[in-house]
């Protein structure tokens, strides 16, 4: 089959890690008889340099006309002096909005082979961790009304956390669907003891849960979740939560894996459309030196195969190849704290291709 | 000198741990020639049983007429069937409001003697941890306008995060004053890249910082802070933040110490008035069995001496006595995971008195 992928190499190490991901996709295409058709587009600093704006209309159009988007990373020192709303990172917000990406999926996986890098004691993580945080991405306080007002206490600023039932319902469905393909366990995180929007959240999640009688639903407060993530992270499988709580908890969860250079992410729209990108940034300090770890981008490509194209065997094959390379003792520089056989960006691609 | 203390034993293990704290205060009084005058008052479940309401007016009046409040714990299964706004825990919100307690101080200390209980690997916490989270307690989204509205997306619920400059200023002053007595380092936590209220927060904190030229100020985003707390908690000394972020981060910080039964807290008003209580709850399952760890309450009493009464030598003496008992190998049941000589609630009090 033919799959159309808009590819955004972006800035810093973005182009290098994307190159390796495309090599892996090509090999998958040969092996399983698919045709992946790439259209490279500009976004972020690269787009600013070429066109003056971080997200050209052409990029948006090509992304919309594709089946999925694969993105490297955007941003860098070079554009740090620009005002906030002209910076490369704005391209991500723009893409989320234009493409209707309302669900952010952040798997936090502790690879057995990298467990020395985990900051938690081994007895807490024994047997590995495999959590996915499903974060609502286009609603809540980050996009609510904001401004200034005069109050009894003098000048004040405000931001509104707001959720419509429909926004909660669609993200809850993403989480429960995912749970059905995993361990049938959803933890919904809110602050329903104090927030009205959280009480609505909890009520709608409970309604959605009725359509998934096999899935176990737990409700936890956000402060308790921040603790449980450290105390007993193995209790979690799928976590679903609001934009701001998901922002905090997905970062906390990624940190307990100890290897942020390994973590992929997906941002999904209604239907199967999605944008896939590594969690790490553009790391301009090591750009162009064959030092970047391409595995998070390669694993993002695997997520694309699984979630947008429904190709789970192919996704499994990529994930197994990455694990094989780690098990064989190869490490990119970011993973060398506990030793290993060092590999560069391109060599990582070579080894994963060989393992496929 | 004479110090008037309103004492709220509360529910569950509250009365037992309070008893030991009062014994310790009495000994300090003898030794340093102070007179601590206690008035016991009702709040929480005990107040519901006796008067029908969780916070009698008499309790409020006596607290207001005192120099400080020392509280055990409130709540328990017995009252779990009451509607939310009649539960024992409401007494805490009521006391905060009535007493004007706008600053919550939560020290997160990793005692060397208990470092086996810490969930983080030893190399991360080597040398110990001593963080204090200063959380704004009476403003922000927990107390902002909330309700329901109809939107383009259908029925929605909302909560308003709002901060007046004055609210930020007074909590920032608490944090910087504290930093001057500690390591002259403040980390202010916000989400200024997206929230207007956070931008106001950051601006006012920077203004306050000008009055403390010796103090180093860092600004961190809340999601990054949740990561750094695990990756490198030793970078933190005083953290100052909003009500909701402080709720999440103080719980995360307490968890990395591994010994929540050891953690005291203070809630301060303008001036020196404060309410002091352990972080742990009322633990009805072990109430009345001489199993509760009274050390968090005893350390809360030490905080009271330090912050409300300005008696730092006396506070130091209590903290040193608690450490001595731990160093001698004594552990309450909650701390026995890695062995030790078991002590009950009363024996813990005996040993701390002996060490004074
Ligand atoms: Mg984040
Ligand atoms: Mg809390």
Instruction: Look at residue B213 in the predicted model and tell me its pLDDT.
Output: 98
Query: Which residues are found with C-beta within 5 Å of the ion, ligand 2?
Result: A 223; B 247, 251
Do A119-257 and A1-107+263-356 have the same topology in CATH? Answer: yes
Taking the C-alpha atoms of residue A187 and residue A238, their distance in angstroms, rounded to an integer, is 6
Instruction: Look at residue B49 in the predicted model and tell me its pLDDT.
Output: 96
Q: What average pLDDT does range B306-318 have in this prediction? A: 96
Taking the C-alpha atoms of residue A227 and residue B207, their distance in angstroms, rounded to an integer, is 33
Among B251, B256, B337, B338, the strongest candidate for a mutation testing the A interface, having the largest count of A CBs within 10 A, is: B251
pLDDT per position as a tens digit, A95-124: 999 999 999 999 999 988 888 889 999 999
When the pLDDT of each residue in chain B is averaged and rounded to a whole number, the result is 95
| The pLDDT of residue A3 is above 90 | yes
Taking the C-alpha atoms of residue B12 and residue B9, their distance in angstroms, rounded to an integer, is 9
Are A226 and B255 within 8 A, CB to CB? Answer: yes
pLDDT per position as a tens digit, B15-68: 999 999 999 999 999 999 999 999 999 999 999 999 999 999 999 999 999 999
- CATH hierarchy code of domain A1-107+263-356: 3.40.718.10
Of B162, B194, B244, nearest to A156 by CB-CB distance is B162
Structure tokens at A196: 């009205």
| The pLDDT of residue B85 is above 90 | no
Contact call for residues B70 and B304 (beta carbons, < 8 A): yes
Are A84 and B193 within 8 A, CB to CB? Answer: yes
pLDDT per position as a tens digit, A34-61: 999 999 999 999 999 999 999 999 999 9
Ligand nearest to the CA of B247: 2
Cα B221 to ligand 1 centroid, rounded to whole Å: 8
Ligand nearest to the CA of A265: 1
Taking the C-alpha atoms of residue A156 and residue B163, their distance in angstroms, rounded to an integer, is 5
pLDDT per position as a tens digit, B232-250: 999 999 999 999 999 999 9
Percentage of chain A modeled with pLDDT above 90: 90
pLDDT band at A62 (very low <50, low <70, confident <90, very high): very high
Q: Residue A85 annotated as binding?
A: no
pLDDT per position as a tens digit, B166-207: 999 999 999 999 999 999 999 999 999 899 999 999 999 999
Q: Does A234 touch chain B (CB under 8 A)?
A: no
Structure tokens at A80: 């740090």
pLDDT per position as a tens digit, B279-304: 999 999 999 999 999 999 999 999 99
Chain B positions touching A148 (Cβ under 8 A) are 196, 200
pLDDT band at B113 (very low <50, low <70, confident <90, very high): confident
Per-domain boundaries in chain B: 1-108+261-356, 119-257
Q: Poorest-confidence range of A181-190, B111-120, B272-281?
A: B111-120
| The pLDDT of residue B84 is above 80 | no
pLDDT per position as a tens digit, B129-175: 999 999 999 999 999 999 999 999 999 999 999 999 999 999 999 99
Contact call for residues B116 and B338 (beta carbons, < 8 A): yes
Size of interface A-B (CB pairs under 8 A): 174
For chain B, give the longest Cα–Cα distance: 69
Taking the C-alpha atoms of residue B298 and residue B258, their distance in angstroms, rounded to an integer, is 18
- CATH hierarchy code of domain A119-257: 3.40.718.10
Catalytic pick from B11, B191, B212, B330? B191
Name the DSSP class of A160. E
Percentage of chain B modeled with pLDDT above 90: 90
Name the DSSP class of A19. H
pLDDT per position as a tens digit, A290-332: 999 999 999 999 999 999 999 999 999 999 999 999 999 999 9
Percentage of chain A modeled with pLDDT above 70: 100
Taking the C-alpha atoms of residue B126 and residue A46, their distance in angstroms, rounded to an integer, is 43
Q: Could you tell me which residue, A83 or B76, shows the higher pLDDT?
A: B76
Instruction: Look at residue A82 in the predicted model and tell me its pLDDT.
Output: 86
Q: Does B93 touch chain A (CB under 8 A)?
A: no
Rounded to the nearest 10 degrees, the angle between the axes of helix A222-231 and helix B243-257 is: 20
Radius of gyration of chain B (CA): 20
pLDDT per position as a tens digit, A227-261: 999 999 999 999 999 999 999 999 999 999 888 88
CA A76, A77, A83, A84 torsion: positive or negative? positive
Distance from the Cα of residue B354 to its chain's centroid: 26
CATH class of the domain whose range is B1-108+261-356: alpha beta
């Amino acid at each position: 089959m033919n799959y159309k992928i808009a590819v955004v190499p972006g800035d810093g190490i973005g182009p290098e890690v994307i190159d390796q991901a495309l090599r892996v996709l090509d090999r998958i295409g040969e092996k399983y008889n698919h045709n992946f058709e790439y259209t490279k587009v500009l976004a972020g600093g690269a787009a600013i340099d070429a066109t003056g704006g971080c997200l050209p209309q052409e990029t948006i159009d090509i992304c919309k006309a594709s089946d999925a988007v694969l993105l490297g990373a955007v941003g860098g020192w070079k554009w740090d002096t620009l005002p906030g709303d002209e910076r490369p990172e704005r391209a991500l917000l723009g893409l989320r909005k234009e493409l209707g990406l309302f669900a952010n999926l952040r798997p936090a996986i502790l690879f057995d082979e990298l467990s020395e890098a985990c900051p938690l004691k081994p007895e807490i993580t024994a047997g590995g961790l495999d959590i996915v945080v499903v974060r609502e991405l286009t609603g809540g306080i980050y996009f609510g009304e904001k401004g200034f007002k005069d109050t009894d206490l003098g000048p004040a600023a405000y931001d509104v956390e707001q959720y419509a039932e429909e926004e909660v319902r669609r993200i809850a469905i993403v989480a429960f669907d995912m749970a059905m393909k995993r361990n049938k366990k959803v933890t919904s995180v809110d602050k329903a003891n104090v927030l009205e929007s959280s009480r609505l959240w909890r009520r709608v999640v409970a309604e959605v849960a009725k359509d998934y009688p096999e899935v176990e639903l737990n409700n936890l407060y956000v402060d308790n979740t921040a603790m449980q993530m450290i105390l007993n992270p193995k209790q979690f499988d799928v976590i679903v939560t609001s934009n701001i709580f998901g922002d905090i908890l997905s970062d906390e969860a990624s940190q307990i894996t100890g290897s942020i250079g390994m973590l992929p992410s997906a941002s999904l729209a209604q239907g199967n459309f999605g944008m896939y990108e590594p969690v790490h940034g553009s790391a301009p300090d090591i750009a162009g030196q064959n030092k970047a770890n391409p595995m998070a981008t390669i694993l993002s490509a695997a997520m694309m195969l699984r979630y947008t194209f429904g190709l789970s065997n192919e996704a499994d094959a990529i994930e197994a190849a990455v694990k094989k390379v780690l098990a064989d003792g190869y490490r990119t520089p970011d993973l060398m704290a506990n030793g290993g056989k060092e590999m560069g960006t391109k060599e990582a691609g070579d080894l994963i291709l060989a393992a496929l």
